[in-house]
Structure 1
Amino acid sequence: MSPSDTIEIELKFDVEAGLPAPELFELVAAPSNSEQSTAATEEGRATEEGRATEGSIGDPETYLLEATYFDTADTLLAKNKITLRRRTGGTDAGWHLKRPSSVAGGRRETAISFEDGGDSEVPTALREQILTVIRSAELVPVATITTDRTVTIVRDEHGRSLAEFCEDVVSAESLLPGGSTNRWAEWEFELTGGDHKLLKRARKLLLAAGARRASSESKLARAIGTQPHDDLVRALPKKASALGLVQFDLATHRDALLMWDPIARENGHDAIHQMRVAARKIRSILQSYPGAIAPEMSAPVADELRQLAEVLGDARDREVALAANEHLLARESAPADLVRVLIEDEQVRHERSLKAVRFAMSTPRYLQMLDDLDRLIEAPIPGHAATQDARKAAAEAVGLSYAGMRRAEKKLKNLSAWSPEWVEQLHTVRKRAKAVRYTAESADPLGRRALAKAGAEAKSVQTHLGIFHDTVLNREHLAKAARNPALSRDALFVLGRMDAHEESRGRRAVRKYRRSRR
């Protein structure tokens, strides 16, 4: 199967059945001469207001769309603003998965056509995208929706599609226990190439024509009456306990872990890194506040997260190494044998590590860890310090981690600069700084300026020493490549130059670290 991904940005309105659509040509008609004169004398005002450009409106086309929506019996997908459907009719028959995106006002849609094999059962590629939401629950039909749709395309002066205006008459039947049938009319205006200025003009035009703000964000929500899920921990009370702070932070990073999961499976940009960070932050919270939750409950989750971070870490290290090789080779005239060793062979290893990530995240063990993490948040067994004031607990936790960083730095001063032991100790300082940063960030909801200052200081240390650590790893990788007996003299010469660049970059990072600690 070959899924296609798009970001859906649309307006949705409720309308009375039979309400005539407005004249859409207003959206693309060129301004009149008087408007042009006004625009010229008002110093760009028309541009700021999104003045229309020339274009055309296509002939309306009518389709009959028949869709079956799938969810768990307790509608976990709908509660998380996710919809999964199998739809026939129209120009995009197949399976469609819609879920929130980071684009303002947009939803991410993944589609698999029937021609690509997604006919009778939920395609594996889509099921993987929602695995962390449904876990081991079965997907069942929860609604059928039939839509009589009339589509009108709005085009620019070159004939390119800017948007689609849909006039829908909808018949829906909920298949949930006690469900009912419903019928309504709505309008949708979806961008296909236009910008938000066009969307703004369309909103004004359609509201003026008699449209009303939609009562539900999706057809499914209206069909089954499901509202978005309310998380257990939404806000931290002013007088929070240590346990309350831990629950709040765990929920925040659990949500980040779940958000990055489907993107990491596809090797989306920075997803492996961000998911690994989320896993590490959860472990850091459990380690920084050991008395908040009973260890017999928190320790198994922390151990599973450690192993997950290791799998993600291997993929991330391969990703970083590949990016570093590409960057270093970009400034060199490298022979083909060196490109093969540093790029092509590394790409193979990187893809192998990604397969390991996808496998690890599809096992019952991983899903069980997520269930256990949910229980830590929703029904934790209180530890001996659970009722301690959150502000006091956070101050103690940050203080302990900061003291650990300072001890590591003190030990560093007693070692010979640039010796193997000194380099290893710099790595320890970096790890301790990361612990300070994560612990301080866990206290952000409390608004303690002193703790935030400690976190910012640790972040600076982590950043400089992180760059140095990257160069150490890169130089080890280059040295390993240089031991390849099949490499040419030209390749070895280039490797030497690359190593010199990395050594210089590492020394600059250490100098910045030293200056920051004076």
Structure 2
Amino acid sequence: MAASEQLEVELKFDVDAGHVAPDLRTLPGVVSASEPQTFSLDATYFDTENLDLAGNRITMRRRTGGTDQGWHLKRPTDIPGARRELHVGFDEAPADGDAPDALVTPVLALTRERPLIPVAVISTTRTVTRLLGAGDEPLAELAEDLVTAQSLLPGGHCRQWAEWEFELLAGGTGKLLKAADKALRAGGAREASSASKLARAIGATPTVHEPKLSKRPTALELVVTDIALHRNSLIAYDPLVRIDAPDAVHQMRVACRRLRSILSGFPTVLDAERTAHVAAELKLLAQILGDARDSEVQLEMNQAVLRGENASAELLAELAGTEVVAHDRALRAAHAAMTSKRYFALLDAVDGLIASPPPGPDADVPATVVVDKAIARSRKHIHKAQDRLAAFAEGSDEWEEQLHTIRKRAKRLRYSIDATEPLGKKKYRAVGSAAKRIQAALGDFNDTRINRRRIADVAATGKLGGADMFVLGRVDARLEADGHRAIATYRKVAKDL
């Protein structure tokens, strides 16, 4: 189903009904204005019974009338005053049908298996004036709205009001937006009482906020705050994974791992028995995402190792061809998992830990005390792994696997230290930096190890000619040198831990 998306940048104001808007043709860059056009718009807004969309500042509607009638999904962005609007016309999704998948899928992590129901109907009489620049370039639109809204929630009311919306178009600039804000306020506009028509129609909703700590938090407060932060990250990357956006699989996998590391790194803060299932499900989800991420990384590495080399099409196909197939298969598996009852149950369980965390024996201990113990324990595990490394012959399989163990433990230490960020403490930043450098160095070494094995496998097929075999030899020598440099870097920074 075709859907179009655009960035909507607008100003919204309350105004007295019938108040005449100021002449905006004096704004910078504006040469003329179109004749006002009036439209009748009728919209039905959809959400879950729990208002999961409204609570995350998202609106989904079906609207008739105007120039862009159809289904719309509006989501917030990090840009002040901007929202992303996804639109599907009625030629693709009829007005009398269910909300189209193109709009439902991006919010599945929020709605899960809860049905979407009508929560409000809003009728708007809209008068639109378009501001034009040189050559009749569209710069912005002023919409003067008379709104009648009926909440469909239990005990909902009917409300009427007037508002102005000033939206930038393709040729508009931030300078124009700033000047319009000043001019409209001077012309009688007031600060909008609600962020959207729906918010005003249905009233207060349980809005999701970024968690904050008290001045002297307990260990339970810190753990719940960290869980909430990484839960929000996982939810944010979910729709991006569904469209295979760059780095999305990696970031969602990191969110899973960080959530799990909170549970494993602070095992006495929450009831371990009651969180064990959540930890196991997070591990499984990270593994599923990991298959897609590993094939993605291998594709990138295959391309990187041949950069600057005179590689034939046959060599490129041997190195990359199977990985493309593997990546597509792994991504389909991830998407299937992310539409399963099991995935939605996991998200519900994580939300449950935030809303009603099961306290462990150290729940009321000061957060700094528990953090000190967790980081000391993690450092001790790394030191033990480093001691065991000395027992293996350098270059042996056991030696390489032990380096991989050290890398994983350094990552776990880094996650534990990252968990202290809400506390604003600086004393562990040096150790965290060392853990990050160790993780990076050993990650680079592991990449060279994987690539050299891959090259050896390709060379052993006997399908390549002499020129390609020579290229593989050059690449292998370069990777070997890269591996030695990575180990040297590890040894240099290991003492800082």
Answer yes or no: same fold by TM over 0.5: yes
In 2, Cα distance between equivalents of 1:453 and 1:176: 53
Cα pair 1:297 1:376 within 8 Å, conserved: no
In 2, Cα distance between equivalents of 1:475 and 1:196: 51
After superposition, residues 385-400 of structure 1 pair within 5 angstroms as 385-400=362-377
User: Per-residue deviation at 1:409?
Assistant: 2.0
In 2, Cα distance between equivalents of 1:412 and 1:279: 29
* SS of 1:65 mapped into structure 2: strand
In 2, Cα distance between equivalents of 1:442 and 1:158: 55
The AA in structure 2 aligned to 1:102 is: D
The AA in structure 2 aligned to 1:498 is: V
Is 1:70 the counterpart of 2:37? The answer is no
Q: TM-score, normalized by length of structure 1?
A: 0.89
Is 1:508 the counterpart of 2:465? The answer is no
Cα pair 1:337 1:488 within 8 Å, conserved: no
In 2, Cα distance between equivalents of 1:155 and 1:498: 58
The AA in structure 1 aligned to 2:197 is: K
Q: Which residue of 2 aligns with 1:200?
A: 178
* SS of 1:98 mapped into structure 2: strand
Q: Which residue of 2 aligns with 1:16?
A: 16
Structure 1 residues 484-505: Cα deviation after superposition (integer angstroms, max 9, x where no partner): 4544444444333333333333
User: Per-residue deviation at 1:276?
Assistant: 0.7
Query: Do the aligned partners of residues 166 and 325 (structure 1) sit closer, same or farther apart at CA in structure 2, a change above 3 Å counting?
Result: farther
User: Per-residue deviation at 1:104?
Assistant: 3.7
RMSD value over aligned CA atoms?
A: 2.1
Q: TM-score, normalized by length of structure 2?
A: 0.93
Q: Which residue of 2 aligns with 1:290?
A: 267
Cα pair 1:81 1:100 within 8 Å, conserved: yes
Q: Which residue of 1 aligns with 2:476?
A: 499
Cα pair 1:433 1:461 within 8 Å, conserved: yes
In 2, Cα distance between equivalents of 1:500 and 1:4: 48
The AA in structure 2 aligned to 1:474 is: N
After superposition, residues 396-407 of structure 1 pair within 5 angstroms as 396-407=373-384
User: Per-residue deviation at 1:454?
Assistant: 2.1
User: Per-residue deviation at 1:344?
Assistant: 4.6
User: Per-residue deviation at 1:144?
Assistant: 0.9
Cα pair 1:242 1:388 within 8 Å, conserved: yes
Q: Which residue of 2 aligns with 1:30?
A: none
Residue 226 of structure 1 is aligned with which of 179, 204, 223? Answer: 204
Is 1:95 the counterpart of 2:74? The answer is no
The farther-off stretch of 171-180 and 106-115 is: 106-115
After superposition, residues 200-349 of structure 1 pair within 5 angstroms as 200-227=178-205, 229-230=207-208, 234-349=211-326
In 2, Cα distance between equivalents of 1:178 and 1:288: 46
* SS of 1:116 mapped into structure 2: coil
Cα pair 1:297 1:380 within 8 Å, conserved: no
Q: Which residue of 1 aligns with 2:401?
A: 424
Query: Do the aligned partners of residues 67 and 477 (structure 1) sit closer, same or farther apart at CA in structure 2, a change above 3 Å counting?
Result: farther
* SS of 1:291 mapped into structure 2: coil
Unaligned runs of 5+ in 1: 28-51
Q: Which residue of 2 aligns with 1:166?
A: 143
Q: Which residue of 2 aligns with 1:49?
A: none
User: Per-residue deviation at 1:153?
Assistant: 2.8
After superposition, residues 368-517 of structure 1 pair within 5 angstroms as 368-517=345-494
In 2, Cα distance between equivalents of 1:109 and 1:367: 25
Q: Which residue of 2 aligns with 1:133?
A: 110
User: Per-residue deviation at 1:333?
Assistant: 3.1
In 2, Cα distance between equivalents of 1:312 and 1:10: 37
In 2, Cα distance between equivalents of 1:157 and 1:254: 48
In 2, Cα distance between equivalents of 1:283 and 1:266: 25
In 2, Cα distance between equivalents of 1:186 and 1:326: 54
The farther-off stretch of 292-301 and 129-138 is: 129-138
Q: Kindly tell me the number of residue pairs found equivalent between the two proteins.
A: 493
Query: Do the aligned partners of residues 92 and 414 (structure 1) sit closer, same or farther apart at CA in structure 2, a change above 3 Å counting?
Result: same
User: Per-residue deviation at 1:110?
Assistant: 1.7
The AA in structure 2 aligned to 1:91 is: T
Cα pair 2:434 2:494 within 8 Å, conserved: no
* SS of 1:449 mapped into structure 2: coil
In 2, Cα distance between equivalents of 1:121 and 1:98: 17
Cα pair 1:444 1:452 within 8 Å, conserved: no
* SS of 2:125 mapped into structure 1: strand
User: Per-residue deviation at 1:306?
Assistant: 0.3
User: Per-residue deviation at 1:287?
Assistant: 0.6
Cα pair 2:211 2:229 within 8 Å, conserved: no
Query: Do the aligned partners of residues 161 and 344 (structure 1) sit closer, same or farther apart at CA in structure 2, a change above 3 Å counting?
Result: farther
Query: Do the aligned partners of residues 514 and 179 (structure 1) sit closer, same or farther apart at CA in structure 2, a change above 3 Å counting?
Result: same
In 1, Cα distance between equivalents of 2:164 and 2:461: 64
The AA in structure 2 aligned to 1:150 is: T
Q: Which residue of 2 aligns with 1:113?
A: 89
In 1, Cα distance between equivalents of 2:289 and 2:491: 31
Task: Using the aligned pairs only, state the percent identity.
Answer: 47
In 2, Cα distance between equivalents of 1:112 and 1:151: 22
* SS of 1:76 mapped into structure 2: coil
Unaligned runs of 5+ in 2: none
Structure 1 residues 288-335: Cα deviation after superposition (integer angstroms, max 9, x where no partner): 111112222110000000000001111111111222223334423332
Cα pair 2:30 2:139 within 8 Å, conserved: no
The AA in structure 2 aligned to 1:463 is: A
User: Per-residue deviation at 1:243?
Assistant: 2.0
